Amino acid sequence: MINLADKTRRRIVVLDGYVANSGDLSWHELEKFGELIIYERTSPAQVIDRCRGAFAVYVNKVILDAGILSLLPDLKFIGILATGYNNVDLEAARKYGKTVCNVPAYSTASVVQMAFALLLALTNRVETYSSSVARGEWTTCKDFSYRLTSIEELDGLTMGVYGLGNIGLRVASTAHAFGMRVVSFTSKRQEQLPDYIEKVSRDEMFGRSDVLSLNAPLADDNIHFVNAETLALMKPTAILINTARGGLVDEHALAEALRSKRIAAAGLDVLEKEPPAHDCPLIGLDNCIVTPHVAWQSTGARRRLLAISAENLAAFLSREPQNVVS
């Protein structure tokens, strides 16, 4: 069990807390376990000094490599304020006796909602019509309604889903609820899938999809999964949605496909480099919506993130660690 008597000697440091909690939520659950020090952001040069003497350190994107971990003998627990943990050297953490825990599946609903927000923005053109009304164009219209651009129904279209984890399966079920057919290139067997998901080859998924949603983690074997070759397989009316990882897409190939109308549109919440360079080829295209990696950060999702992060530390102190990745 947690020994609250040790609380005064236990230092807990959050190195980059701003993105998860810019002040609209509370850190009080972590404050129960010791002296809590929160930094909004931490540069690489500041990491060691800020972690020195800490029992527990929380990071989102700050890198904790082998060299850093070797210099922090007091550090016993590393909490990842995210699901992904590639910013922490897990082998070094094991070597130096530091338990690393992440927060899985906290943002599933939030990410699925954003995937369809991007898709509906591209198919229903709500912003285009709202801006038109604000300019007075409805007031001066001769008819009760008017058409600036086509509005596409999702019902009857085919949604390709790449990545059938928690998020991908929810995307698939939501697409099914919209009346869409769902296909997926997946390592899962057909009998493992819901009856509304059809297992297909990679090329068939690209070729049949009216909408292709990327929901897979980035790995060595799927970098630039969407590239000039696979984009050439897609329908000219197809839409690409990426709420997973920017590295799944060859940005220059996608930009060329969008400019040449090889595909119709893209909705992207992630890019290869974040923040992007000023010359990112996808920003500013009239058939490409780009949002700044916000799909995960609904208020509800961030509240769950902080709550589970505190539960991870409580479980570790109770000698029953949960969500351990190393």
Half-sphere exposure of 40 (CA within 13 A, CB side): 3
> What is the model's pLDDT at position 1?
44
Which part of the chain is CATH 3.40.50.720?
A: 4-106+299-317, 108-290
Q: Is the model's pTM score more than 0.75?
A: yes
In contact, 312 and 322? CB cutoff 8 Å? yes
Statement: residue 2 has pLDDT above 70: no
Average the pLDDT over 224-234 and give the result. 98
Query: Tokens 């998860």 appear where?
Result: 20
CATH of domain 4-106+299-317: 3.40.50.720
Select which of 40, 127, 137, 274 is catalytic: 274
Beta-bridged to residue 197, according to DSSP, are: 182
Query: Which three-class secondary structure string do you get for 227-266?
Result: CHHHHCCCCCCCEEEECCCHHHECHHHHHHHHHCCCCCEE
DSSP single-letter state for residue 80: E
Confidence grade of residue 6 (pLDDT, cut at 50, 70, 90): low
Mean pLDDT calculated for residue range 176-183: 98
Q: Of these residues, 245, 251, 272, 302, which one is catalytic?
A: 245
Residue percentage of the chain with pLDDT more than 70: 98
- Going by pLDDT thresholds of 50, 70 and 90, the confidence category of residue 9 is confident
Q: Which residue has tokens 């190393």?
A: 326
Pick the CATH number of 108-290 from 3.90.1570.10, 3.40.50.720, 3.40.50.300, 3.40.1190.20: 3.40.50.720
Query: Whole-angstrom Cα distance, residue 28 to residue 252?
Result: 45
Report the pLDDT averaged over residues 303-319: 98
Residues 124-130, mean pLDDT to the nearest whole number: 96
Catalytic-residue membership of 9? no
Look at residue 199 in the predicted model and tell me its pLDDT.
98
3-state secondary structure of 67: helix
Q: Which two tokens stand for residue 324?
A: 């351990």
Rounded-to-5 percentages of helix, strand, coil across the chain: 35, 15, 50
Determine the pLDDT at residue 4: 45
The 10s digit of each residue's pLDDT in 75-117 is 999 999 999 999 999 999 999 999 999 999 999 999 999 999 9
293 is catalytic: yes
Average of per-residue pLDDT values in the chain = 96
Annotated catalytic residue, options 208, 293, 302, 304:
293
What would the pLDDT profile of 187-216 be if each residue is shown by its tens digit? 999 999 999 999 999 999 999 999 999 999
Q: Is 252 a catalytic residue?
A: no
Is 143's pLDDT higher than 80?
A: yes
